[in-house]
Amino acid sequence: MAGLENLSERDRAVLRSIFDPTATIGDVVDEGDKFQEDESEPSTPAYKESKSLSLRGMQLAEAGKLEEALDLMNKAVEATPERAAAYNDRAQLLRLMLKDSEAMSDLERALQLTEGKRTRARALALCQRGVLLRKRGSDEDARTSFTEAAKLGSSFAKKQVVEMNPYAALCNQMLSQIMKGESEIKL
């Protein structure tokens, strides 16, 4: 088809979403997270230590040293028990370790600490909770978590809300069938 080389990336994404009934525009164009308000953590020595411990823990986790990583993540939480991001980080590691109940406890604590705030830490905790709830088969509760995270600016959560919407999936499938039918007619 002539002229396709002049399409914008977004236009190409729309076309891909039409021909793939399971895709959404968000799957192919990630505009990134957009948080209206982000937490500005204090620059106290304890917060700096907690951030450093979390970062080192993440590096160990990426290297496959999960128990060592957990030890550092525990120390990060102990250094600043009021820092929601430390609980988020540890919850992610716990999920990797298949310790979902412990991860959920950390996420609930992160959500308590961010209650009423429009922060990245809250959005991340809601996304992780949504993933765990979906894994448990609690789709309605997961959708609620993802919806709140999407309102806070999480692009991942927005994709999950669309993916979990049965009407959107059905519409994508029907549109794909119509487009395929039209192309078959033209041949």
Domain-by-domain residue ranges, the chain? 43-186
Mean pLDDT (the chain) is 79
Could you tell me which CATH number the domain at 43-186 has?
A: 1.25.40.10
Q: What is the mean pLDDT of residues 69-85?
A: 96
CB 142 within 8 A of CB 164: yes
- Residue the block writes with tokens 């988020």: 88
Chain segment 146-171, per-residue pLDDT in tens: 999 989 888 888 888 888 876 665 66
3-class SS shares of the chain: helix, strand, coil, % to 5 = 75, 0, 25
Q: pTM to 2 decimals? A: 0.70
Segment 10-54, tens digit of pLDDT: 555 555 544 444 444 344 334 455 655 555 677 889 999 999 999
